[in-house]
Every structure is written in structure tokens, then in C-alpha cells.
């Protein structure tokens, strides 16, 4: 069987970043990237709906090691796709990718300290097995084969077109059409102004309001710094600025939620008037209890003010041949209905895991630093932030993996496994992500690993804390155990410690 030191699953932002870090910090290691699709970029290649863009700034959504060069900090999907592809090309990563290899199973064998990773060819369906010492899961957090769509009664009676943003037809033209976009998340907020440019009218139909903040899509400070300073220095300063501001703002939402709420609502009121804001932009939760929506240059407000778009806050009773009947009794007519109802989250990219022949049930496992799982050897997953840019955590995770692999080599150990310590017995379980009430998370939290109430079993979703826990904390913390297969003539931990002491 073909064998690599590492297998990375996924060639999106995270997988390409992982390969870069490996090449830089573990240059002797062999690796392959298994990617289920036939393209690089993940999210930024898959989503093609009108207006697709980031809703965090590219100075923190971009990699720490590759400055974002474009003037727009809130960038469109194609620019981000180009950036990820460029990273892969510039760093000789493309040749490591095996496209159309959808990973289905991963089985760990303690006797040989190896993973066997089985993937299915996306077209031919044939299965291939490759083994590796270490598995780095970078497959994102949602299903690629379907989005989340609730059951809408009467859906089949609607005589127009129904679209889901995850599967946007390439040549779809909404000119002169009446459109309803169901949803009030980032995707709906992006689609509404973008479609309003061509459509006769776009209605954003939401069950409940979301917090919205408008910002210029360009970061003036970043663009000025770039003129005067070396590119990397300017990028680092902007990144630091944005991380600091985001942290400050997020902390304020935790300690003074009511004040922040009033400030946010005041800003929207200035753009749309108090009555409109009371009706459609005043959520019944606190800011950042669910994801906050960032819009560039007031584009959504402008579309509403121009009369090309409007917001309706109501519940759907049923689809009708001509549109949607609402619980209030009102009827909306449409030629096109877009179900911007979200993603379907998945645990570890839907891969079935086994350790020594026993299936792994992730809800039974404890998250170690939000990256590894109790009793699963040599496996790390990248899972970014829901309250900050994904890549901040992806970069930290990659640094950790490289540090860990190099340390295992130094120790002469082939397995590292997080295990509960005696003092962790009876630890209180908390959801994988807590303090975040968004429906798309709540629907699936019972399928995810749990986190504990103490380090290193917490998944903090806090960049400052993660820097301490992931970047600076010692690798040998008593919970992460370094061992060798017992059946082989190789040193066990005590022996390795003796060798270390001798070497010192
Ligand atoms: C519309 C949209 C907008 C977003 N905007 C932002 C934003 O502004 N800021 C932010 O921080 N985050 C945002 N996110 C979250 C976003 O997913 C992350 O920013 C980031 O792109 C995740 O990168 P990733 O590589 O970890 O995962 P993905 O982009 O999901 O890429 C995963 C890759 O792994 C592959 N894969 C998955 N499973 C398997 C398998 N079993 N076998 C083989 N290959 C597999 C996929 O095909 C894909 O190529 C957004 C998400 C969406 C959907």
C-alpha cells in the first residue's frame, strides 16, 4: 500500500495552508492531499451565487504567511479562490493533491501506528487505500453534497424556479424576475442586493431578524500602510489591528450586550429609519449570541432604500403555485424562490473512523484543545472560529501539528494520543461550541465531540486564549501521551525520556 508521513484531507483554505506549513517546518515529511472535488479552494470554489464574498476582512481571513494584496478587504469569492490557488501554485503544493478522492474511512492500527485512509473516486466510484502516520483533517465543517433546507409544505406546487445558494446554476439570469430570498444570514444579505441589480424586485423573507453592521469594503489604514511599508510589515500591522479590534468588539458584546445592541441598532436606524429597524432588524438575542452579519458599503440598505428590495418578517405557511403564503395571511408572489436556509454541518467531513477495529462515536470523545479527540491517535482537525476569521485558528492549528510532528521525531515516538488524566475523571461535559445559539449549530451539536470545563479539554473559540493553549503551552502536558507500538522493538516513553536526559 502506498504510504505517506501525512495525509491532509481537503484542498480548501485550510488544506492548502496545512501543506504550506508542513513544507516550511517539516521539510523532510512526505504528504498527499486528498480532495473530494476536482478543484482547489473549497468554499470559495463551490459557492457561485451572485455577489458571493467574505464577511470577514481578508487581512485575517488570509494566511499569516501570504499578504492580501487587493484593495478590497471584504473580498469577492473569485478573488479568494485566486488567492488560495496562487498559494498552492507558488509553493509547489498542487502536485501533492489527488483530486476527486473523497475520503470515506480512516482506520487506525495501534500495532503498526498507522492510519489506513480509504477514498472513493468521485466519478468512477472505485476505492483506494493509502496509509499514513498522521492524519490532518482539513475538510471544513459542512456537507458538500447538500445544503440545509427545511420542509416547506406545498413546495412541489410552486410553478417558478427554486434555487439553493450552494448549487447555483452557472447561467441563471434573474433579469426582470420577482425573487424571494428565504433567510437572514450572511448568504441572504449578500444575495439580496446583488440580485436586486437585475431583478424586478427582491424580498428577503426572514423568520426573525439578524444584527447587521455595514462597513466600507476597503480598509483605508491597510491600503495606506501598504504604500509606505514593506508588504509583509504592512500586512502584519493590519492583521494585528483587526484582531485587536475584533477582540475588543466581541468582548464588549459579552460584558455590555445591551449597550452594544443599542449602538448597532442606532447605526441601522440612521440608514433605514427607526420603524423599519424595529420591525425587521431588531433580534431578540444579544449581539454575537449568533453570527453577526457584515455588509459592505451599505449595499443592502441601498437596495432597500431604492425600492428594489424589501424585508418581510413572518413565517411561511406554505408554498403556493405563485409564491408563498405567510402565517399572517399575507401572500408573496415570485418567479424565483431562493432557499438561503443554510449549511448542513457535518462531523469530520463525514469520514467513518475506527481505532483498532472499533468504530469511533464522536459524541463520546472529548475535544483536546479543540483540535484532537480523546483516544484518537495521530489525528488533528482544523476547525476555525465562528466569531472571527477561520484562518486565524487554521494557522495556529498548522503550527501545532508541525511542532508536534517534530517533537515526536525528537522523542523517537510514533504515536501521540490525548487521554483523560486521573484528575479529569467526572469532568463536566459542554457542547463542542457553547455560548452560540444559532440554529445551524444547535441542530447538530449532539453529533459533535464534547468539550470539558478545563484545559486542555476546552474549545475556547477565543484567539487570544488559543494562542496560549495551542501556540505557547508545552506539548507534554500529561494529557497528550507519546508512545510506540508495544509489539515493536522501539523505545517506550520511559526509555525515550532516558535518551533525552542522556542527550542533554
Ligand atoms: C458562503 C460562505 C461564506 C463564508 N465566509 C466566511 C468569512 O467571511 N470568514 C470566515 O472566517 N469564514 C467564512 N466562511 C467559512 C469558510 O468555510 C471558511 O472561511 C473557510 O473557507 C474554510 O476552509 P476549509 O478549507 O477549512 O474548508 P472548506 O472551504 O469547506 O474546504 C474543505 C475542502 O475539503 C474537501 N472535503 C471535504 N470533505 C472531504 C472528504 N471526506 N474527502 C476529501 N475531501 C473532502 C472539500 O471538497 C473542500 O474542497 C464562509 C462559509 C461559507 C459557506
Give the mean pLDDT per block of 10 residues along the chain (504 residues): 97 98 97 98 97 94 96 95 98 98 97 97 94 98 92 96 95 95 94 97 96 94 94 96 92 92 95 94 89 92 96 97 97 97 93 97 96 98 91 97 97 96 94 76 87 93 92 94 79 58 57
The model's pTM is 0.93
In degrees, rounded to 5, the angle at the alpha carbon of residue 485 between the alpha carbons of residues 484 and 491 is 45
Give me the half-sphere count of Cα atoms (radius 13 Å) on the Cβ side of residue 106: 27
How far is the C-alpha of 18 from the C-alpha of 9, rounded, in Å? 10
Expressed in angstroms and rounded, the spacing between residue 13 Cα and the centre of ligand 1 is 7
How far is the C-alpha of 76 from the C-alpha of 41, rounded, in Å? 13
Residue 263's contacts (CB-CB under 8 Å, 6 or more residues apart) are none
How far is the C-alpha of 299 from the C-alpha of 50, rounded, in Å? 13
User: Which H/E stretch holds residue 228?
Assistant: helix 220-228
Counting from 1 in the atom list of ligand 1, the atom nearest the Cα of 34 is: 43
Supply the angle between the helices 13-25 and 77-90 in degrees, to the nearest 10.
Answer: 20
Pocket test for ligand 1, best of 8, 9, 11, 12 (most atoms within 8 A of CB): 12
Expressed in angstroms and rounded, the spacing between residue 373 Cα and the centre of ligand 1 is 21
In the 8-state DSSP scheme, what is residue 428?
A: P
The per-residue pLDDT for 384 is 93
How far is the C-alpha of 236 from the C-alpha of 217, rounded, in Å? 19
The per-residue pLDDT for 439 is 75
Counting from 1 in the atom list of ligand 1, the atom nearest the Cα of 346 is: 38
CB 55 within 8 A of CB 186: yes
> Does the Cβ of 102 fall within 6 Å of ligand 1?
yes
The per-residue pLDDT for 437 is 66
> Does the Cβ of 395 fall within 6 Å of ligand 1?
no
Counting from 1 in the atom list of ligand 1, the atom nearest the Cα of 391 is: 11
Amino acid at each position: 500500500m502506498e504510504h505517506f508521513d501525512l495525509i491532509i484531507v481537503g484542498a480548501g483554505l485550510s488544506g492548502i495552508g496545512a501543506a504550506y506549513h508542513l513544507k516550511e517546518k517539516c521539510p523532510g515529511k512526505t504528504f498527499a492531499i486528498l480532495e473530494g472535488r476536482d478543484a482547489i479552494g473549497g468554499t470559495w470554489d463551490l459557492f457561485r451565487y451572485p455577489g458571493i464574498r467574505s464577511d470577514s476582512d481578508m487581512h485575517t481571513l488570509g494566511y499569516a504567511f501570504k499578504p492580501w494584496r487587493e484593495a478590497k478587504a471584504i473580498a469577492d469569492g473569485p478573488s479568494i479562490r485566486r488567492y488560495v490557488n496562487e498559494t498552492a501554485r507558488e509553493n509547489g503544493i498542487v502536485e501533492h493533491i489527488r483530486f476527486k478522492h473523497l475520503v470515506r474511512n480512516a482506520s487506525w492500527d495501534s500495532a503498526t501506528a498507522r492510519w489506513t485512509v480509504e477514498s472513493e473516486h468521485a466519478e468512477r466510484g472505485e476505492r483506494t487505500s493509502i496509509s499514513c502516520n498522521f492524519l490532518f483533517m482539513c475538510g471544513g465543517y459542512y456537507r458538500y453534497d447538500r445544503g440545509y433546507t427545511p420542509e416547506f409544505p406545498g413546495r412541489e406546487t410552486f410553478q417558478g424556479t427554486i434555487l439553493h445558494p450552494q448549487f447555483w446554476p452557472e447561467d441563471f439570469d434573474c433579469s426582470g424576475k420577482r425573487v424571494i430570498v428565504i433567510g437572514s444570514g450572511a448568504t441572504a444579505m449578500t444575495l439580496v442586493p446583488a440580485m436586486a441589480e437585475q431583478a424586478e424586485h427582491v424580498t428577503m423573507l426572514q423568520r426573525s431578524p439578524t444584527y447587521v453592521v455595514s462597513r466600507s469594503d476597503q480598509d483605508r489604514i491597510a491600503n495606506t500602510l501598504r504604500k509606505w511599508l514593506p508588504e509583509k510589515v504592512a500586512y502584519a500591522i493590519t492583521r494585528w489591528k483587526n484582531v485587536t479590534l475584533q477582540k475588543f468588539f466581541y468582548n464588549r458584546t459579552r460584558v455590555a450586550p445591551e449597550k452594544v445592541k443599542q449602538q448597532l441598532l442606532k447605526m441601522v436606524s440612521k440608514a433605514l429609519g427607526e420603524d423599519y429597524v424595529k420591525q425587521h432588524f431588531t433580534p431578540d438575542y444579544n449581539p454575537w449570541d449568533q453570527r453577526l452579519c457584515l455588509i459592505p458599503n451599505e449595499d443592502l440598505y441601498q437596495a432597500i432604500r431604492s425600492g428594489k428590495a424589501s424585508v418581510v418578517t413572518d413565517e411561511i405557511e406554505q408554498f403556493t403555485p405563485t409564491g408563498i403564503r405567510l402565517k399572517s395571511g399575507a401572500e408573496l408572489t415570485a418567479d424565483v424562490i431562493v432557499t438561503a436556509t443554510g449549511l448542513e454541518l457535518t462531523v469530520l467531513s463525514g469520514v467513518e473512523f475506527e481505532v483498532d477495529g472499533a468504530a469511533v462515536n464522536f459524541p463520546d470523545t472529548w475535544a483536546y484543545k479543540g483540535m484532537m479527540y480523546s483516544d484518537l491517535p495521530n489525528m488533528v482537525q482544523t476547525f476555525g472560529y465562528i466569531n472571527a476569521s477561520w484562518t486565524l485558528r487554521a494557522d495556529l492549528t498548522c503550527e501545532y501539528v508541525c511542532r508536534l510532528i517534530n517533537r515526536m521525531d525528537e522523542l523517537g515516538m510514533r504515536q501521540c494520543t490525548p487521554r483523560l488524566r486521573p484528575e479529569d475523571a467526572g469532568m463536566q461535559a459542554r457542547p463542542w461550541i457553547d455560548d452560540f445559539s444559532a440554529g445551524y449549530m444547535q441542530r447538530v451539536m449532539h453529533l459533535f465531540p464534547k468539550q470539558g470545563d478545563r484545559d486542555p479539554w476546552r474549545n475556547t473559540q477565543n484567539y487570544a486564549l488559543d494562542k496560549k493553549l495551542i501556540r505557547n503551552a508545552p506539548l507534554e502536558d500529561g494529557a497528550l501521551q507519546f508512545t510506540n507500538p508495544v509489539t515493536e522493538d522501539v523505545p517506550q516513553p520511559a526509555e525515550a525520556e532516558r535518551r533525552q536526559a542522556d542527550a542533554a
